[in-house]
Amino acid sequence: MPTPFEGGCMCGGVRYRCEAEPGMTYYCHCEDCRRGSGSAFHVGLGVSKDAVTVLKGEPKSFRKEADSGRGITRMFCPTCGSPLFTYPDVWPDIVMIKAGSVDEPELFEPNIEIYTDSKVSWAHIGPTVESYPKGRA
Ligand SMILES: [Zn+2]
Ligand SMILES: [Zn+2]
């Protein structure tokens, strides 16, 4: 994926730039990601926290304890509500960018899916991704 790349929310109120190549691109089927995305699953790009700069606007945050027992802070646009990033306690140096917020989502392709234990039966990803019933250790 060419870097830097940029993204933002639906209304354009929040814009960000990422300077690093994502280290992990994945689908997550856990219940929190389902509800937080409003879709059947979340698609995330894991990058180093330092690599992401908010260029415009100020995302709001919401924190919740995750299935793992550790917290996740979810960031979203205060105006249009688009989800943008998540910060998992378990990896304090990492931010997960919501893949749907990237300007050019064709530039990457997730290769694993996690929390398939919680997967909605009709939410098929396809046979080319590695599946993990819970998180990836
Ligand atoms: Zn917005
Ligand atoms: Zn999840």
Counting the structural domains of the chain, the total is: 1
Nearest ligand atom owner, CA of 81:
1
Residue 136 in domain = no
The boundaries of the domain holding residue 26 are: 5-131
* Secondary structure, 3-state, 17-69: EECCCCCEEEEECCHHHHHHHCCCCEEEEEEEHHHEEEEECCCEEEEEECCCC
- For residue 126, the model assigns a pLDDT of 84
- For residue 137, the model assigns a pLDDT of 59
Domain of 74, CATH number, reads 2.170.150.70
Q: Which residue has the tokens 């990601």?
A: 33
CA of 53 to the centre of ligand 1 (A): 16
CA of 69 to the centre of ligand 2 (A): 13
Residue 60 in domain = yes
Residue 108's alpha-carbon distances to 7, 57, 115, in angstroms, are 13, 25, 21
CA of 15 to the centre of ligand 2 (A): 23
Residue 137 in domain = no
Neighbours of 36 (CB within 10 A): 19
CA 1, CA 130: separation in Å to the nearest integer? 20
**How does residue 2 score in pLDDT terms, banded at 50, 70 and 90?**
confident
CA of 8 to the centre of ligand 1 (A): 8
Residue 20 in domain = yes
CA of 26 to the centre of ligand 2 (A): 10
Nearest ligand atom owner, CA of 101:
1
Contact assessment for residue 85 and residue 52, using Cβ atoms and an 8 Å cutoff: yes
Nearest ligand atom owner, CA of 16:
1
CA of 69 to the centre of ligand 1 (A): 30
Residue 73 in domain = yes
CA of 15 to the centre of ligand 1 (A): 9
Contact assessment for residue 115 and residue 134, using Cβ atoms and an 8 Å cutoff: yes
What tens digit of pLDDT does each residue of 34-91 get? 999 999 999 999 999 999 999 999 999 999 987 667 899 999 999 999 999 999 998 8
Instruction: State the pTM of this model.
Output: 0.91
Residue 107 in domain = yes
